[in-house]
Amino acid sequence: MKHKGFTLIELVIVIIVLGILAATAVPKFINIQSDARISTLKGAEGAILSANNLVYSKAVIQGIENSSGAVSTGGSSLTRLAPENSIDTVKGNIVMTAENLKKAMTTTLNLVNHTKDGGVLVSIDKNTMDEINDSQCYLLIQSDPTEGTLYFTEDFSGC
């Protein structure tokens, strides 16, 4: 007599093998999400540096690269980002506030002023300073109040 189909043992073995494959694939998928979050924040760091370079160039054109002042965005490539606005600068570099950064660049990331240490917190999916700090997945940008130099602090431990 011929039997068609699989035995119970064969089915159990297939289920065990699929379980083992799933157990090894899930951690790799989770790691990919973490890597994507970190890459997004590192990309934001590069975009912020580029925006700062554009603002610095505009400050040089306006002759205020060695002092504090507002860079006018009228009549420049920055006009589409900040029409009829100005961006506060120190020695040509952006004063790091969420408002200034939003005027200098377009982003879908969350920008929140860090009220305790100064600067701007950049987050992918959190909206308040406490949420961002607790997430341990953020970028903090600060500017020196006298020199205007930008400083980046990364915390990717919770990404």
Reported as a single tens digit per residue, the pLDDT across 111-148 is 999 988 889 999 999 989 999 989 999 999 999 888 88
Q: Residue 106: what pLDDT? A: 86
Q: Residue 74: what pLDDT? A: 62
**Structure tokens belonging to residue 33:** 């999400």
pTM (2 d.p.): 0.74
| Domain residue extents for the chain | 10-155
Q: Residue 29: what pLDDT? A: 73
Reported as a single tens digit per residue, the pLDDT across 79-90 is 445 545 788 899
For residue 143, give every residue at least 6 positions away whose Cβ sits within 8 Å of its Cβ, in sequence order, or none. Answer: 90, 93, 94, 95, 96, 119, 149, 150, 151
Q: Residue 84: what pLDDT? A: 57
pLDDT bracket for residue 30 (50, 70, 90): confident
Q: Residue 78: what pLDDT? A: 52
For residue 2, give every residue at least 6 positions away whose Cβ sits within 8 Å of its Cβ, in sequence order, or none. Answer: none
The pLDDT > 70 percentage for the chain reads 91
85-117 residues labelled b (16+ CB within 10 A) or e (exposed): bbbbbbbbbbbbbbebbbbbbeeebbbbebeee
Q: Residue 79: what pLDDT? A: 46
Instruction: Kindly report the number of other CB atoms within 10 A of residue 27's CB atom.
Output: 9
Say whether pLDDT at 45 is over 90.
yes
Q: Residue 5: what pLDDT? A: 81
